[in-house]
């Protein structure tokens, strides 16, 4: 297998933002929901674009909900976010070996930059495609295609790594190889059902996959 490019989702893949996201949704639903939402329901909001998830709470006040969510999210960001085990050293190794690296996320750029800076990953990713950069979010292939264009890469030589069904489907739709991460909050069985090419139990296993 010839892989020279690796694209990563951010939240739930490289950095653990799960509790931050859950607390931000909980904070927002407590103010705007017509009832109490369970943790399992709130977990279902993780992955799709923020506005899409918040529309399920109150479709008529989405922008208001976005502002409340983001204010809470940014206020508590640094205390609740960290990189997953072996992520930082694996990314550094990939960079040293000359692999082309990119981020493809459904997050908005401001909070993406916060996460990359906090975890020391920012300098390793010359290309970062956020929700602000595309018309169609994952699972549409547009974000991946945009990253490939900026990296001067081809889908057939690319691996897309993610923790959500949107990531695996986007990779398949774009024609890349795909890898799920077993630490997904959704449960790895959800990803295995989509038949990704690989399933990582920790990030450093990617070095074995690409022959590094």
- Catalytic residues, by residue number, are 9
Long-range pairs of 92-99 with CB within 8 A, sequence gap ≥ 24: 92/124, 93/207, 93/212, 94/6, 94/124, 94/206, 94/207, 94/212, 95/124, 97/212, 99/3, 99/4, 99/5, 99/6, 99/210
| Whole-number Å distance between alpha carbons of 43 and 8 | 20
Residue 196 · residue 167 · CB < 8 Å: no
Q: Identify the bridge partners of residue 85 per DSSP, sorted by sequence position.
A: none
> If you search the block for the tokens 């290309």, which residue do you land on?
127
Judging by beta carbons within 10 Å of its beta carbon (0-12, 13-18, 19+), is residue 93 exposed, middle or buried? middle
**In Å, how far are 111, 163, 181, 194 from 200, measured between CA atoms?**
25, 10, 5, 14
């Amino acid at each position: 297998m010839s892989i020279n490019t690796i694209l990563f989702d951010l939240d739930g893949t490289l950095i653990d933002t799960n509790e931050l996201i859950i607390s931000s949704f909980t904070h927002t639903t407590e103010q705007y929901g017509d009832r109490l939402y369970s943790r399992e329901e709130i977990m279902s909001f993780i992955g799709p674009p923020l506005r899409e998830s918040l529309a399920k709470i109150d479709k008529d006040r989405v922008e208001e909900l976005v502002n409340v969510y983001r204010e809470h999210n940014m206020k508590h960001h640094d205390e609740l976010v960290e990189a997953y085990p072996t992520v930082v050293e694996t990314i550094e190794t990939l960079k040293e070996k000359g692999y082309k690296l990119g981020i493809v996320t459904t997050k908005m750029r401001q909070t993406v930059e916060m996460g990359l800076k906090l975890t020391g990953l920012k300098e390793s990713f010359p290309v970062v495609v956020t929700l602000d950069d595309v018309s169609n979010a994952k699972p549409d292939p547009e974000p991946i295609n945009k990253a490939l264009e900026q990296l001067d890469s081809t889908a057939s030589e690319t691996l897309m790594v993610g923790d959500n069904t949107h990531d695996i489907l986007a990779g398949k739709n774009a024609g890349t190889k795909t890898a799920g991460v077993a630490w997904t909050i959704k449960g790895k069985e959800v990803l295995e059902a989509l038949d990704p090419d690989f399933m990582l139990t920790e990030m450093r296993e990617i070095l074995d996959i690409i022959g590094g």
